[in-house]
Chains A and B, each alone.
Chain A
């Protein structure tokens, strides 16, 4: 292992800051209509109404008013072919867990249909706002001004709340500048009450703390990668959460991958778009996705595969981007993106490495598979791997949804449902031998901790503790 003496190759955008991303934001947002007008007829036609999706929907299980994925997808698509049908508001009750995708025996693109319908619905909520933003992006400030008068009347508290939650990364970027102050304010009872009553962000949960040093700050301070390799190269998509809140996960990724001789790069990136999809903020998602696709595409051209440590981030890059956007390199990024443990299992003999490791830091684990791991075929990998290793006892706590689904469980009106959905998982965790929770998804981790009080770890942290000195 050697530290690169100099940045011999120019690394596009690697050390870019949030400010430099604004150049992308000023690009005109165009062809949004592609997303909502894309032909989903074959999806509707492939549905033979077996209702398997409805039986897999965690929201329908606790919410009698929610019509379920079959309605939200194929049935709604057919209904709105008629002129007099608007998108049903219940589309905003879907948590975008995407379990229906994994259930459908006929490969109907349910989550794609939900995402487009939700986007269309939200688009209709504040047309003047979107028009003004478009005009600003085009540099048409006079035109933008003409929309301003209508905006306040169109905005509901819920819309504002959802936009704030969707753009967590922007908030977190500000908050993490003064982590201690922000943590103090956000954990304050008064702040919680105000959030709850005025914004509809539940006061039942503790706001995630910001780290004193973000992952990107740490990475810069460290001087970037400590390993160079011509053939083992990965570009790390850390996402907002492990940058601002859990840099220990991102650091574990770095140490584990370097242990196996990988050269790591950390491209400039924005939110994967997961919370934006779930809230129908497709324009915001599109802007973020364009930055990510462009920057990750550059690295792929230079022989890097993209690695994400969050299963929702990898899901967004792999599945939602190609289903919703058509940037030049969308497909390329989709094909070259992996979840971190998945990639190592394909390319390294992880089982062999772990087999004889005995003294480990987290020996008894209760694992929850995030919903977004299911469609990627990786919902059993952590249990499979660690149950072969002598030093670990690991138990899967069942195939239910944790119930938080990113921003869903943060909404005041959804909190109780979120906890009801999670009840199965809480119960199984309490019954499990393990006293440390394990999952890849940061919001599942929040819910696991919130419902049981357990300490929750990421598989990469467990690997780091077992394999890296």
Chain B
């Protein structure tokens, strides 16, 4: 280590240390805590779930690009080394059970193995295993005629365009999109958060005697024209989404749903709150603010992980460690012209030596780099160049894993949940 601490120090000590505050890390921590272990979750920054759509996919497309209707059928055909092949079907189911329990009634989809089809703000249809209850009335498999509402001030959701795209995608219902004015005007670059807050507090509308919720209902009513359900961009409240959606549904007399949006994402934030609550309930200790940067090992075991705090290393001791630090975007896997690496434990990341073999020329080609990450044994322990575990007590979960293309397969959440669960449970059992 670059900077060492004074001798005789007493490090902060836990049974299981999970590195990474995303979906994989949170699931790991929950699973380890379920085994009775004392668990610490280390996260550099605030959870990035607020950037996520809030949809929980499992497997939307096969590696060949075929749409998947039942993920569990397709998983049996995945190649060796794919994270799902590593953990096996049972762990995937158990991981999703844990997720379902943590999020409670705020998510749907657990009644079936089959994918649901949820409309997105790009006007596509996303195959997904679990979806927020606020999106439920909008499923594309539901034949009811649909009205989408956009707002002048929110350029990220162009309702007529979304409707055009959904129609082009061949959805089995009539869909129209109209743009109305939101009852309150905000600064030109206001985010969905500001709209949500106005609805949460039911702030007075800019014009007329009504408050935001009632005024919004009025402006939508005129466009209803026989539509059987109405979709809004996902901004119907941060603190009180159920109440707001209920109010609008009652007043309009039709079902209301949200269409998940890009960051900052309200469904992502709500999920983050829910999982934070679950971690808290299970006594998981949370340490945020500094990145994990290094470790000590003894006899093939990681003994201590260090975070970097302005150049000084702070030690955290643990019996078992789970690496859930993210992939290329989350900086759990790093690359430069010389090669691709995992920066905390320097675990082996297989990749071609010639960097011109990392990618193909077209943007949407089947790029090798998308599958870069650590390779693991069936206990999720990262493997070195000779296919031996790097460390006896280090497991990896989520997008730090290689061997799958989460963006093309639509499998990011499912891999995080199932490998997070398996790694966390194994760590908790061994600690």
Contacts and interface: CB of A to CB of B under 8 A. Distances in A.
B204 interface: no
Given A51-B191, A64-B186, A377-B287, A335 B310 contact: yes
Nearest to B287: A377
A104 B331 CA distance: 13
Given A50-B51, A54-B264, A318-B309, A105 B45 contact: yes
A322 B314 CA distance: 19
B193 A346 contact: no
A344 to B, nearest CB: 10
B219 interface: no
A51 B263 contact: yes
Nearest to A375: B289
A336 interface: yes
Most-contacted residue by chain B among A52, A61, A375, A377 (CB, 10 A):
A377
Contacts of B264: 50-52, 54-55
B315 A346 contact: yes
B247 interface: no
B312 A64 contact: no
A61 B197 contact: yes
B9 A347 contact: yes
A380 B46 contact: no
Nearest to A331: B311
B310 A322 contact: yes
Interface string A44-61: 000000111011100001
Contact of B46 (A102, A318, A347, A378): A102
Nearest to A104: B45
Contacts of A319: 310
B9 A377 contact: no
Contacts of A104: 45
Contact of B288 (A71, A318, A379): A379
A84 interface: no
B348 interface: no
A348 interface: yes
Contacts, number: 92
A334 B289 contact: no
Contacts of A318: 309-310
A83 interface: no
Given A64-B187, A346-B5, A379-B289, A52 B310 contact: no
Contacts of B194: 64
B45 A103 contact: yes
A348 B264 CA distance: 41
Nearest to A319: B310
Contacts of B314: 346, 377
Contacts of A376: 289-290, 309
A336 B313 CA distance: 10
A154 interface: no
Contacts of B69: none
A269 to B, nearest CB: 19
A346 B286 CA distance: 16
A231 interface: yes
A56 to B, nearest CB: 7
A105 B51 contact: yes
Nearest to A231: B6
Interface string B310-326: 11101100000000000
B63 to A, nearest CB: 28
Contacts of B186: 64
Contacts of B418: none
B193 A54 contact: yes
A348 B8 CA distance: 9
B285 interface: yes
Nearest to A346: B9
Given A346-B10, A374-B288, A334 B311 contact: yes
A379 B289 CA distance: 9
B269 interface: yes
A335 B12 CA distance: 19
B285 A55 contact: no
A286 B287 CA distance: 32
A325 to B, nearest CB: 14
B50 interface: yes
B11 interface: yes
A61 B72 CA distance: 44
Contacts of A334: 310-311
Given A318-B309, A345-B12, A347-B10, A56 B263 contact: no
Most-contacted residue by chain A among B50, B288, B289 (CB, 10 A):
B289
A30 interface: no
B114 to A, nearest CB: 32
B192 to A, nearest CB: 9
A54 B193 CA distance: 9
Contact of B193 (A50, A55, A65): A55
A67 interface: yes
Contacts of B27: none
Interface in A309-342: 318-319, 322, 331, 334-336
Given A52-B46, A56-B46, A377 B309 contact: yes
Interface in B294-341: 307, 309-312, 314-315, 330
B3 interface: yes
Contacts of B315: 346
Contact of A67 (B11, B187, B312): B187
B48 interface: yes
A226 to B, nearest CB: 22
Contacts of A346: 5, 9-12, 314-315
A417 to B, nearest CB: 15
Nearest to B12: A345
Contact of A380 (B48, B287, B309): B287
A346 B6 CA distance: 10
A64 B186 CA distance: 7
Interface string A89-104: 0000000000000111
A380 B314 CA distance: 15
Interface string B1-44: 00101101111100000000000000000000000000000000
Interface in A80-130: 102-105, 107
Interface string B243-276: 0000000000000000000011000010000000
Contacts of A335: 3, 310-312
A71 B188 CA distance: 13
A221 interface: no
B50 A52 contact: yes
A65 B188 CA distance: 11
Contacts of A150: none
A105 B309 contact: no
Given A52-B263, A64-B187, A346-B11, A374 B289 contact: yes
Contacts of B48: 52, 105
A349 interface: yes
A349 B10 contact: yes
Interface in A245-267: none
Most-contacted residue by chain A among B197, B290, B310 (CB, 10 A):
B310
A384 interface: yes
A231 B315 CA distance: 19
Contacts of A348: 10
Contacts of A56: 46
A102 B190 CA distance: 21
Contact of B269 (A55, A331, A345, A378): A55
A104 B8 CA distance: 35
Interface string A343-374: 00111110000000000000000000000001
23 contacts: A52-B51, A52-B263, A52-B264, A55-B193, A64-B186, A64-B194, A65-B187, A71-B189, A102-B46, A103-B46, A104-B45, A105-B46, A105-B330, A107-B45, A231-B8, A318-B310, A331-B311, A374-B288, A376-B290, A377-B287, A377-B290, A378-B289, A384-B285
- 3 smallest beta-carbon distances between A and B, as pairs: A377-B289, A377-B290, A335-B311
Given A52-B46, A374-B289, A379-B289, 10 more contacts: A52-B51, A54-B191, A64-B194, A102-B289, A104-B45, A105-B45, A319-B310, A346-B10, A349-B10, A375-B289
